[in-house]
Amino acid sequence: MLKILTVISPLFIIIFASAILQRVKNINKNWMVVLNEYALNIGLPALVFASLSKTSLSLSENTGVILANSAFLLGSFALALLVGKLFNLSAQLKRTVFMCLGFGSVAYLGIPILEEIYGKDVLPVASIIVAIYLFWKFTIGLGYLEYDQMASKKGVITKVAKHLISNPILIAVVAGILFGSFQIPIPSVIGRAIDMVVASVTPTVLVVVGLFIGRSDFGKLSEWIPVFIFSLFILFAMPGLFYLGIKLAGFNPQSFSTTLIESAMPAAITPFALADEYSLNKTFIARTIVLSTILSVISIPFWISVF
């Protein structure tokens, strides 16, 4: 548990320091807009490209990992739609749940935690898992968000395709897969420049989350109940369902321990960066990031002991 606290504590330091700065200085809202635009149009595409271009998605060598994680994410999409329909969620909350469910912090928290457990030998597999998450979330995920926001569904396929083709993140997905699959070398100077941008993405989004929290009221305790339930669901129910699915499919869960541990990560910060562009519920996302990350101090050690 102490190691997990060590990994996640910088996240809280950045978030809460930014929130306090917002409260004390009352920073102009334009800061959030500019930083978020940077993360969405420059930082996240660089992160996606860097991750995919360094990962060879070989079907023959990583079939089990690719299929298991793809099934988990596609199942998360289907479950999110079902939850939205069953609970008659608003259009905004449906999109929010669709993008957040099954999208844990597999890179920022997942990789350091896996490295602590298995050592550096786990990094290639961990990179593939991250690449799979990015691929599905920024293809099917963004496609659905684009579709759901269309005022008119006439010619929707063409409209969605046009939006996606010009989307920097999806362009990064395609370019990253091409570079990774064909092992296209990236000049070291360009590679270092991309890595510098990538290094800025997580702290930038965390600062935006902190500034947003600093501008927001804590709210009533009752407003946190749905956040608490959703956090418990992503931390305990989703990994549990994944574990059960692997067993029912006749596989040994121990063979998928890295995949299962990654599925137990708290909410990712990426949906917050997408919130303005796709009209997601920023308050719900910000609260879920904070609360699920706090609760992960309990949930992650639990799942590590199980898996």
Q: Give the separation between CA 136 and CA 132, rounded to whole angstroms.
A: 6
Domain that holds residue 73: 2-306
pLDDT at 202 over 70: yes
CA 209 to centroid of chain Cα atoms: 14
- Look up the CATH number of the domain holding residue 162: 1.20.1530
Q: How far is CA 176 from the centre of its chain?
A: 17
CB 39 within 8 A of CB 230: no
pLDDT > 90? residue 276:
no
In this structure, the number of other CB atoms found within 10 A of the CB of residue 237 comes to 13
Mean per-residue pLDDT, 26-51: 83
| Structure token pair of residue 115 | 């490295």
**Backbone φ, ψ for residue 47 (5° rounding):** -65, -45
Above pLDDT 90, what percent of the chain?
29
Q: In this predicted structure, what is the pLDDT of residue 151?
A: 60
Is this model's pTM higher than 0.85 or not?
no
Calculate mean pLDDT across residues 99-117. 82
How many angstroms separate the CA atoms of 220 and 163, rounded? 38
Give whole-number Cα distances, 277 to 42, 45, 175, 227, in Å: 14, 15, 22, 22
pLDDT band for position 92 (cuts 50, 70, 90): very high
The total domain count for the chain is 1
Tell me the pLDDT band of 198, cut-offs 50, 70 and 90: confident
**285 vs 215: CA distance, rounded Å:** 15
Q: What is the pLDDT of residues 146-186, one digit of tens each?
A: 888 776 556 556 766 666 677 787 788 788 888 888 888 99
**Nearest partner of 258 among 103, 55, 110, judged by Cα:** 110
Could you tell me if 203 and 273 are in contact, meaning their C-beta atoms sit under 8 angstroms apart? Answer: no
Residue 46 near residue 171 (C-beta atoms within 8 A): no
Q: Is the pLDDT score of 208 beyond 90?
A: no
For the chain, how are helix, strand and coil distributed in percent, rounded to 5? 80, 0, 20
Residue-level pLDDT at 263: 94
Instruction: Work out whether the CA dihedral 49, 55, 58, 62 comes out positive or negative.
Output: negative
Stretch 131-146: mean pLDDT, rounded? Answer: 85
Q: Residue 301: count other Cβ atoms within 10 Å of its Cβ.
A: 15
Residue 59 has pLDDT above 70, yes or no: no
Return the pLDDT at 206.
84
